Amino acid sequence: MTQNLTEVLAYYDSWLAFNQRYQRVPGVQAAVYAGDGVVFSKAYGRADVENDVPLTDQHLFRIASHSKTFTGTAVFQLVEQGRLRLDDKAAQHVTEIVGTPAGERTVRELLAHAGGITRDSGDADWWQLATAFPDRDQLLAVLRNDTSAVIPENERFKYSNIGYGLLGLVVEAASGLSYNEYVQSAIVDKLGLAGLGPELDPKRLSEYAAGYSALAYADTRVPIEHVDTRALASATGFFGNAHDLVTYFSAHLPGDDRLLSDKSKREMQHPLWTTGSDEKARYGLGMAVTKVGDREVFGHGGGYPGHITRTLVDPEQRIVVSVLTNAIDGPASQLAEGLFRLLDLAASKDRGDQDLTRFTGRFANLWGITDFVVLGGRLYATDPSGPNPADEPQPLEVEGDVVRVSGGNGYGSYGEAYQFTFDPSGAVTEVRGSSGLTSYPLDRFSLPERVTVAQ
């Protein structure tokens, strides 16, 4: 690993741990792939709050719409084998929907969410476990309904789980296997990944992290049962852990031919549609494409009842990050993007040659938290509670024991110095600065029951 990446991962670990507690997420699991292997795999919080089970990096999450990347991979494998064409109409393979609007949509249109197909149908309370997910016959009934095609094809991006359910049926017809059997053998087993699978595995229930409801509508979270997604496995059924998920996505990097040719990968990752008002957010064929800072990244997110997950891939620097959370309001995207934000900050200046580690740590006062962190060989003061850990940090210049603010927001303490006090062992006991306030190491900081004027 480069020195920058080593420093970033050290702080990323601390930042993730802080945010798991600060944002009141039951559990956060994260992994990073760089170079030619997994260089980071950690877990924070609880897999099961009620039974006080610590979350590990081996626990399994429902990774939901990450499934679409596996479905896209399966389709392109079958295209490369000559069993399928992207411009085939769905009804050529799923004969039960011949003559229907859904059957006229092409495989390409369905992969791109450009088929105009209903997102989840008019009655989809399976997403809150009021009903079971649809089986094959129920999915076909939705697809045969004339209202399944809501708008004309190729009019705009229109996300559709039902469309990806149809792609699962196409994969079955073209491969001669069930969807779950095909993706398990042709993708998961081919990569030797025991921590991934296409659908809830009842024999492994003890390995799954419990999922939890949101805090938006209640003061406390409640656990949500894991259920089989049946005919929508190709849209939302997959489970996995972050370690194996970044390993799977590494097979989508250029030059890796374990799953697909580079030509097919380029086609999957090529953005075809913007997904909304933000021009940065786009979609290809089974892959979402966006920008984090100036980085062009691809990947996917997933939302399952109780789990929110996100994977981002920087193909140029060959870095993959996955963050999995076990709450329906989990900040997976923010936490995944945070890695790239920190890498950009670390690369923003020439490396310094001082040993600045004695100034690092997390410190608290009545007003909040300040992290002193070394990134790219430079010392910064930053707020770990913000959505972007690299947003307007205070760059610090160090001369001996004097640590001076040399930049940052003008409302801060530009030009002023932080005063560090060390004990005989060299540990920081307090820091004074930033409006003249004294901060203390977080593990030693506590407030009285009532804050009053000191006598």
CATH label of the domain that carries residue 208: 3.40.710.10
Mean pLDDT of 190-195: 98
Whether residue 14 lies inside any domain: the answer is no
Q: CA neighbours within 13 Å on the CB side: how many for 250?
A: 21
Q: What is the mean pLDDT of the chain?
A: 96
Q: CA neighbours within 13 Å on the CB side: how many for 292?
A: 28
For 51, list phi and psi in degrees, rounded to 5. Answer: -105, 10
Given a cut of 80, whether residue 434 has pLDDT beyond it is no
* Same domain as 323, residue 240: yes
Would you state the pLDDT for residue 453? Answer: 87
* Residue 156 neighbours by CB under 8 Å, 6+ apart: 114, 273
* Same domain as 267, residue 201: yes
Q: Rounded to the nearest 10 degrees, what angle do helices 161-175 and 67-80 cross at? A: 40
Out of 291, 312, 330, pick the residue that ends a domain: 330
Burial of 11 by CB count in 10 Å (0-12 exposed, 13-18 middle, 19+ buried)?
buried
Tens of pLDDT, residue by residue over 266-296, are 999 999 999 988 889 999 999 999 999 999 9
Q: What is the CA radius of gyration of the chain?
A: 24
Whether residue 5 lies inside any domain: the answer is no
Whether residue 47 lies inside any domain: the answer is yes
Whether residue 345 lies inside any domain: the answer is no
* Same domain as 386, residue 254: no
Whether residue 433 lies inside any domain: the answer is yes
Q: Answer whether 275's CB lies under 8 Å from 281's CB.
A: yes
Supply 42's token pair.
């950690």
Tens of pLDDT, residue by residue over 281-337, are 999 999 999 999 999 999 999 999 999 999 999 999 999 999 999 999 999 999 999
* Same domain as 67, residue 163: yes
Would you state the pLDDT for residue 352? Answer: 83
Supply 270's token pair.
């090529």
Tens of pLDDT, residue by residue over 31-46, are 999 999 999 999 999 9
* Same domain as 296, residue 261: yes
* Confidence class for position 391, pLDDT limits 50, 70, 90: very high
Cα–Cα–Cα angle for 64, 70, 73, rounded to 5 degrees: 155
Mean pLDDT of 184-191: 98
* Same domain as 363, residue 312: no
DSSP 8-state assignment for residue 208: B
Out of 265, 295, 330, pick the residue that ends a domain: 330
For 23, list phi and psi in degrees, rounded to 5. Answer: -90, 5
Would you state the pLDDT for residue 455? Answer: 73
Which of residues 76 and 452 earns the better pLDDT score?
A: 76
Supply 167's token pair.
């792609």
* Confidence class for position 411, pLDDT limits 50, 70, 90: confident
Write the CA distances from 40 to 31, 35, 61, 73, 342, integer angstroms: 5, 12, 18, 25, 15
Q: Answer whether 398's CB lies under 8 Å from 360's CB.
A: no
| Strand 238-240 versus strand 282-283 pairing type | unpaired
Q: Answer whether 250's CB lies under 8 Å from 320's CB.
A: yes
Query: From CA 318, how far away is CA 34, in angstroms rounded?
Result: 6
**Domain total for the chain?**
2
b/e 270-291 (16+ beta carbons within 10 angstroms → b): ebbbebeeeeebbbbbbbbbbe
Query: From CA 165, how far away is CA 179, in angstroms rounded?
Result: 10
Mean pLDDT of 338-343: 98
Q: Answer whether 195's CB lies under 8 Å from 241's CB.
A: yes
* Residue 192 neighbours by CB under 8 Å, 6+ apart: none
Given a cut of 90, whether residue 412 has pLDDT beyond it is no
* Same domain as 391, residue 299: no
Would you state the pLDDT for residue 287? Answer: 98
* Confidence class for position 76, pLDDT limits 50, 70, 90: very high
Domain of 54, in residue numbers = 24-330
Query: From CA 192, how far away is CA 190, in angstroms rounded?
Result: 6
Whether residue 451 lies inside any domain: the answer is no
Query: From CA 267, how far away is CA 419, in angstroms rounded?
Result: 55
* Same domain as 162, residue 54: yes
Q: What percent of the chain has pLDDT over 70?
A: 100
Q: Rounded to the nearest 10 degrees, what angle do helices 67-80 and 262-269 cross at? A: 140
* Confidence class for position 15, pLDDT limits 50, 70, 90: very high
Whether residue 174 lies inside any domain: the answer is yes
Out of 287, 312, 330, pick the residue that ends a domain: 330
Query: From CA 43, how far away is CA 27, in angstroms rounded?
Result: 7
List the beta strands (DSSP E) in 196-292.
196-197, 211-212, 223-224, 238-240, 273-274, 282-283, 288-292
* Same domain as 203, residue 287: yes
Q: Which residue type sits at 404?
A: R
Residue 416 belongs to domain with CATH number:
2.40.128
Would you state the pLDDT for residue 400? Answer: 86
Tens of pLDDT, residue by residue over 356-390, are 999 999 999 999 999 999 999 999 999 999 999 99
* Confidence class for position 225, pLDDT limits 50, 70, 90: very high
* Same domain as 429, residue 309: no
Q: What percent of the chain has pLDDT over 90?
A: 93
Would you state the pLDDT for residue 277? Answer: 86
Mean pLDDT of 216-235: 97
Whether residue 93 lies inside any domain: the answer is yes
Q: Answer whether 306's CB lies under 8 Å from 328's CB.
A: yes
* Same domain as 142, residue 68: yes
Report the 10 Å Cβ neighbour count for 95: 9
Cα–Cα–Cα angle for 285, 290, 294, rounded to 5 degrees: 140
Would you state the pLDDT for residue 410? Answer: 84
DSSP 8-state assignment for residue 89: B
Would you state the pLDDT for residue 409? Answer: 85
* Same domain as 207, residue 105: yes
